Amino acid sequence: MDNQKIIDEVMGGGLRVLNRIADSPLVERLGLEARAQRLVYQGAKRAAETAAKAAKRRSPKRSGDRSSKPRKFDLNLSEEQQLMRDTLRRFADDLMQPAAREADDRSAPPDDFVDTFAELGAIAMAVPEEMGGAAEQVSAVSQMLIVEDLARGDMGLAYAVLAPLSFANALVHWGDADQRARLLPSLLEGDTTASVAVVEPHPLFDPSEPRTTAKKRGTDFVITGEKSMVALAECAKWFLVAADIPKTGPRFFVVDADASGVEVTKEPAMGLRSAGLGHVKLDKVRVGRESILGGETALKAQGGAAYDEAVNRARIAWGAMALGTSQVLLDYAIPYCNERIAFGEPISHRQAVAFMIADIAIEIESMRMLVYRAASRIDAGLACQREAYLARTLCSDKAMQIGTDGVQLLGGAGFIKDHPMEIWYRHLRSVAVMDGNLLL
Amino acid sequence: MYLELPKSLEIVVNQAHQVAKHVFRPISRKYDRAEHDYPKELDMLAALMDGLNAGSRNRGTGIDALQREQGCEQGVRNGANMSTCLGMTELCWGDVGLAISIPRQGLGNEAITAVANAEQKKRFNGVWAAMAITEPGAGSDSANIRTTAHLDGEQWVLNGEKIYVTAGSRADAVVIWATLDRNLGRAAIKSFVVPQGTPGMEVVRLDKKMGIRASDTASIALTDCRIPKENLLGTSDIDTKRGFSGVMQTFDNTRPVVAAMGVGVARAALEHARELLGREGIKVRYRGPLFSKRAAEAELIRMEAEWEAGRLLMLKAAWMADNGVPNSTEASMSKAKAARVANEITLRCVELCGGVGYSEQELLEKWARDSKIIDIFEGTQQIQMLIIARRLLGKRSSELR
């Protein structure tokens, strides 16, 4: 039995006894309340002192995992993270927001957009130094902040640049040495682009059980299935495809876009259009064993664990997408409601309007806390399946509510394309739909 | 960024949980049925809480331990605000009515901590103080208070009527909000400590309530009630610029604690509903699409996500207070969110469990009655929304009313 358990039992037992004393009519009848209370006070004081001492003895042993300092609840960002935020926010506000409308009309990002983003070095910041990148430390929180800030610019454009970043992240987390050496350099240089293909075009899609299969043929695998809503589908050189290996479970495969049997078609959707969405059909695509992300070891149990982790990381990423877009929506709605006059005063003077604003703000904070917590658990080396699932569940509901309320606040102006509100509405519908295709 | 509970607060959480489990839960139904009976177990508990606080030297679970930390000496703090919220969460997991009836942990004590001068803090140390703000004609619009105070020689003379005073009949003293001059609005509202038994102050009735029946809710009449001049908390100067902020600041600290009440009672309901549904074969699994699950499982997960939101907003607001970051908006957000989801969750858990949930054989129906008040006291849901909206929109209370 560990110390904590002993403490629990000692204290619990003590309290049960004390409660019985308190309840006893005898104490009252004998006029012993004051004395009994003193007894309780002393007993409790001793129990607390014992508990405090035991906890002190216990702590150094346990805290050997990460740092020697006991960790505290802390919402502060590191200096590096704050610096990155400032840069990305400027990028989002100055470059992405003005480009969003045209890119949505064209169903593709502006020609030089992906390159401009590459110049920011975001991929390099995600890849550790020993793999040719510039990151001192790989952090899920940092990645999540990148997603949030980019989605503040435009969710569709963010999706476009996050696809190759997600591909690089997968290599960093789970790729083997050969795969990193083969694929990372040109991604880091910005010469080639790549994308992640997990989502499939059918209702009730479950990333843990993809219908796309990878069947063994000798030393190769043959992949068959359909992938949906893939970003940069037409210009990606490689796809990271999620496919189920019978009797083994789902794994990732690096599939060359030029491979025989791969067919890419445009797949414009309600929103996210500026990401250049595409449908990827895989018809008996033959890939070598070296294509399994992580190589041979991925066929063992750790490959399954890595896949599950990728599912969690995708959920956190889409939650961060919801955050960024919801926040910019609120920042836009506030001045609009203050300036829009009806019945002789700003509409924000009406509770029906003001309460909608308050509600949006509350739910953004709610989403933010759940998403941040899930990401911070990854950095702390803790399991995050539950937290990522809950974050996704909350964001699926709240993001769309915020989207529809945002349009409502602007009224007719929210419905026409003079304002960005209708784009955000269409983007925010994707949060509940997209369960994959990105990863931190 | 690290958003887990620190090890240093595990002791506080555990202590409060043990109290909730072994003291509150066994007597929860008893005092729900016997409204207005004084829960004598609470005297023991007060001694116990004092002992725990003294023993752990960690300013324990008491509401009177709340303080706004001024700046932070070194690094981040997880201090009194957070530990109070966590403690209150556990206690309310046990029983909300009992949790707010613990002697010497009253809201009035918080007012004393926040506004009193050094001499008063010393003089009122150990006094259990209730808080009396609401009047028959002034609830959420507390600037509209009609109870008056005027100086007569060395004494304040109070006149008026207060309602909904939690622990109003049990506490040693009541902190009365009264105006020095009705024409000067909020700035003239001051708080006064009136010891129980002072001639002119009378408990005129105890309310019969739907929930938190273990807690006494009193109506108090003040008729030429005289108290020493030194019992006015803070300064008697009427500073029209500073206005209400002095007394209202108290709420920035207490709102996360009320959020904690919601977090606690909602967790009780969620855990118990989950257990009862588990016996019917409903298991909660955090994988697969929500829509492919049985409705009850999906509902449990949805509620858990909402509950986590309330809990984390509470922690954020408390963390800000602990680290000297202004948190008015976040305190209101935490209260608004945690309280409304607590009510939704407790009600839904009754529904999910059907007849068992509705019947008195389980505590689920009680929690669904208790939770409603959390969305009302310390500023209703709608008042929190007004506060948040005014901040975000940059509006004065005269504009966004």
Place B251 in a pLDDT band, splitting at 50, 70 and 90.
confident
Domain with CATH 1.20.140.10 in chain B: 245-393
Q: Which two tokens stand for residue A55?
A: 């906890």
Lowest mean pLDDT among A303-307, A352-356, B140-144, B213-217: B140-144
User: Do residues A226 and A132 both lie within one domain?
Assistant: no
pLDDT average, residue stretch A197-216: 97
Q: Does A18 touch chain B (CB under 8 A)?
A: yes
Radius of gyration of chain B (CA): 21
Instruction: With beta carbons less than 8 A apart as the criterion, state whether A261 and A225 touch.
Output: no
User: Do residues A356 and A423 both lie within one domain?
Assistant: yes
Percent with pLDDT over 70 in chain A: 84
Phi, psi of B17 (to 5 degrees): -65, -40
Question: How far, in Å, CA of A46 to CA of A76, rounded?
Answer: 36
**pLDDT above 70 for B276:** yes
Question: What residues in A contact B55, CB-CB < 8 Å?
Answer: 44-49, 52
Given this model, what pLDDT does residue A59 score?
43
Given this model, what pLDDT does residue A310 score?
97
User: Do residues A425 and A383 both lie within one domain?
Assistant: yes
Given this model, what pLDDT does residue B253 score?
80
Q: Does A54 touch chain B (CB under 8 A)?
A: no
Question: How far, in Å, CA of A238 to CA of A230, rounded?
Answer: 12
Given this model, what pLDDT does residue A5 score?
57
Strand partners, A227: A280
Instruction: With beta carbons less than 8 A apart as the criterion, state whether B175 and B63 touch.
Output: no
Choosing from A300, A317, A341, the residue where a domain stops is: A300
Contact A48 B316 (CB under 8 A): no
**pLDDT above 60 for A431:** yes
- Whether CATH 3.90.380.10 fits B128-233: no
Question: How far, in Å, CA of A374 to CA of B3, rounded?
Answer: 9
User: Do residues A268 and A145 both lie within one domain?
Assistant: no
pLDDT digits (tens, 9 = 90+) for A271-292: 999 999 999 999 999 999 999 9
The residues in B 319-348 lying below 8 A from A, measured between CB atoms, are 319, 329-330, 333, 336-337
By Cβ distance, the residue of A365, A377, A386 closest to B313 is A365
Place B262 in a pLDDT band, splitting at 50, 70 and 90.
very high
User: Do residues A89 and A153 both lie within one domain?
Assistant: yes
Contact B4 A377 (CB under 8 A): yes
Question: What residues in A contact B345, CB-CB < 8 Å?
Answer: none
In a domain, A207, yes or no: no
Average pLDDT, chain B: 90
Given this model, what pLDDT does residue A373 score?
98
Question: How many cross-chain Cβ pairs, A to B, lie less than 8 Å apart?
Answer: 258
Given this model, what pLDDT does residue B144 score?
85
**Max alpha carbon distance in chain B (Å)?**
75
pLDDT average, residue stretch B261-272: 98
pLDDT average, residue stretch A297-308: 93
In a domain, A204, yes or no: no
Percent with pLDDT over 90 in chain B: 72
**pLDDT above 80 for B294:** yes
Given this model, what pLDDT does residue A39 score?
63
Question: What residues in A contact B301, CB-CB < 8 Å?
Answer: 389-390, 393
Given this model, what pLDDT does residue B63 score?
45
By Cβ distance, the residue of B4, B48, B302 closest to A73 is B4
A309, A438, B319 from A170: Cα distances, Å: 10, 10, 34
Q: Does A309 touch chain B (CB under 8 A)?
A: no
Contact A71 B7 (CB under 8 A): yes
Q: Does A342 touch chain B (CB under 8 A)?
A: no
In a domain, A198, yes or no: no
Question: What residues in A contact B19, CB-CB < 8 Å?
Answer: 15
Beta strands of B276-375 (E only): which ranges?
Answer: none
pLDDT average, residue stretch A377-405: 97
Report the CATH number that the domain containing residue A288 is assigned in CATH: 2.40.110.10
Q: How many other CB atoms are found less than 10 A from the CB of residue B207?
A: 15
**pLDDT above 80 for A180:** yes
Contact B3 A15 (CB under 8 A): no
**pLDDT above 70 for B68:** no
Contact B289 A206 (CB under 8 A): yes
Given this model, what pLDDT does residue A65 score?
42
Nearest alpha carbon to residue B273 among B252, B244, B299: B299
Place B41 in a pLDDT band, splitting at 50, 70 and 90.
confident
Contact B309 A351 (CB under 8 A): no
Q: Which residue has the higher pLDDT, A102 or B107?
A: A102
Domain with CATH 1.10.540 in chain B: 7-108
The most confident of the ranges A45-59, A358-372, B2-16, B226-240 is: A358-372
A123, A128, A184, B213, B354 from A177: Cα distances, Å: 18, 13, 10, 66, 57
User: Do residues A312 and A414 both lie within one domain?
Assistant: yes
Of all residues in chain B, the one with the smallest CA distance to A204 is B289
- Whether CATH 1.10.3470 fits B7-108: no
pLDDT average, residue stretch A41-49: 64
Interface test with chain B among A8, A145, A148, A365, by most B beta carbons within 10 Å: A365
Question: How far, in Å, CA of B206 to CA of B196, rounded?
Answer: 15
Report the CATH number that the domain containing residue A130 is assigned in CATH: 1.10.540.10
User: Do residues A237 and A287 both lie within one domain?
Assistant: yes
Instruction: With beta carbons less than 8 A apart as the criterion, state whether B338 and B259 touch.
Output: yes
Residues 6+ apart with CB under 8 A from A325: A151, A152, A155, A399, A424, A427, A428
Instruction: State yes or no: is B73 an active-site residue.
Output: no
Total domains present in chain A: 4
Instruction: With beta carbons less than 8 A apart as the criterion, state whether B209 and B34 touch.
Output: no
Question: How far, in Å, CA of B110 to CA of B144, rounded?
Answer: 22
**pLDDT above 80 for A21:** no
Question: What residues in A contact B310, CB-CB < 8 Å?
Answer: 366
Q: Does A341 touch chain B (CB under 8 A)?
A: no
By Cβ distance, the residue of B4, B23, B305 closest to A19 is B23
Contact A7 B14 (CB under 8 A): yes
Taking the CA of residue A52 and the nearest CA in chain B, the distance in Å comes to 6
Percent with pLDDT over 70 in chain B: 92
User: Do residues A306 and A378 both lie within one domain?
Assistant: yes
In chain A the first and final C-alpha atoms are separated, in Å, by 38
Contact A369 B21 (CB under 8 A): no
Q: Which residue has the higher pLDDT, A349 or B186?
A: A349
By Cβ distance, the residue of B3, B288, B333 closest to A376 is B3
User: Do residues A131 and A21 both lie within one domain?
Assistant: no
Q: Which residue has the higher pLDDT, A3 or A233?
A: A233
Q: Which amino acid is at A275?
A: A
Q: What's the domain range around A310?
A: 302-433
Instruction: With beta carbons less than 8 A apart as the criterion, state whether A165 and A439 touch.
Output: no
Instruction: With beta carbons less than 8 A apart as the criterion, state whether B266 and B342 touch.
Output: yes
Contact A369 B312 (CB under 8 A): yes
Look-up of token digits 């399991």: A383
Percent with pLDDT over 90 in chain A: 73
**pLDDT above 90 for B364:** yes
Report the helix count and the strand count for chain A, using DSSP H and E. Answer: 16, 9
A287: buried, middle or exposed (CB in 10 Å: 19+, 13-18, 0-12)?
buried
Interface ipTM: 0.93
Q: Does A120 touch chain B (CB under 8 A)?
A: no
* H or E element at residue B174: strand B173-179
User: Do residues A293 and A330 both lie within one domain?
Assistant: no
Taking the CA of residue B320 and the nearest CA in chain A, the distance in Å comes to 9
Q: Does A65 touch chain B (CB under 8 A)?
A: no
Interface test with chain A among B14, B18, B57, B391, by most A beta carbons within 10 Å: B18
User: Do residues A182 and A243 both lie within one domain?
Assistant: no
Question: What residues in A contact B308, CB-CB < 8 Å?
Answer: 369-370, 373, 387, 390, 394
Q: Does B8 touch chain A (CB under 8 A)?
A: yes
Q: DSSP letters along B188-209, please?
A: GEEEEEEETT-TTEEEEEE---
By Cβ distance, the residue of B6, B50, B337 closest to A73 is B6
In a domain, A70, yes or no: no
**pLDDT above 60 for A10:** no
In a domain, A73, yes or no: no
User: Do residues A29 and A141 both lie within one domain?
Assistant: no
Average pLDDT, chain A: 89
Annotated catalytic residue within B110, B299, B365, B378: B378
Instruction: With beta carbons less than 8 A apart as the criterion, state whether A253 and A293 touch.
Output: yes
Choosing from A281, A300, A319, the residue where a domain stops is: A300
The most confident of the ranges A9-23, A222-236, B170-184 is: A222-236
Alpha helices in A67-133 (DSSP H): 79-90, 97-106, 113-119, 122-126
Lowest mean pLDDT among A25-34, A333-342, B217-226: A25-34
Q: Report DSSP state, residue A292.
A: B
A212, A238, A239, B227, B277 from A171: Cα distances, Å: 21, 12, 12, 74, 42
In a domain, A244, yes or no: yes
The most confident of the ranges A243-247, B38-42, B124-128, B140-144 is: A243-247
Express the helix, strand and coil content of chain A in percent, nearest 5 each: 60, 15, 25
Taking the CA of residue B155 and the nearest CA in chain A, the distance in Å comes to 34
Question: What residues in B contact A21, CB-CB < 8 Å?
Answer: 44
Helix (H, G, I), strand (E, B) or coil at A248: coil
**pLDDT above 50 for A52:** yes
HSE toward the beta carbon, residue B255, CA cutoff 13 A: 33
Place A30 in a pLDDT band, splitting at 50, 70 and 90.
low
Instruction: With beta carbons less than 8 A apart as the criterion, state whether B62 and B105 touch.
Output: yes
In a domain, A203, yes or no: no
Contact A48 B392 (CB under 8 A): no
- Return the ∠ at Cα B219 (arms to B218 and B220), rounded to 5°: 110
Contact B309 A77 (CB under 8 A): no
Beta strands of B250-371 (E only): which ranges?
Answer: none
Residues 6+ apart with CB under 8 A from B213: B31, B32, B33, B35, B97
Q: B245-393 belongs to which homologous superfamily?
A: Butyryl-CoA Dehydrogenase, subunit A, domain 3 (1.20.140.10)
Contact B288 A349 (CB under 8 A): no
Interface test with chain B among A68, A73, A82, by most B beta carbons within 10 Å: A73
**pLDDT above 60 for A216:** yes
Q: Does B34 touch chain A (CB under 8 A)?
A: no
Contact A366 B330 (CB under 8 A): no
In a domain, A199, yes or no: no
pLDDT digits (tens, 9 = 90+) for A63-112: 334 455 679 999 999 988 998 898 899 999 999 999 999 999 999 999 88
Domain with CATH 2.40.110.10 in chain B: 128-233
Q: Which amino acid is at A196?
A: V
The residues in A 162-191 lying below 8 A from B, measured between CB atoms, are none
Taking the CA of residue A356 and the nearest CA in chain B, the distance in Å comes to 9
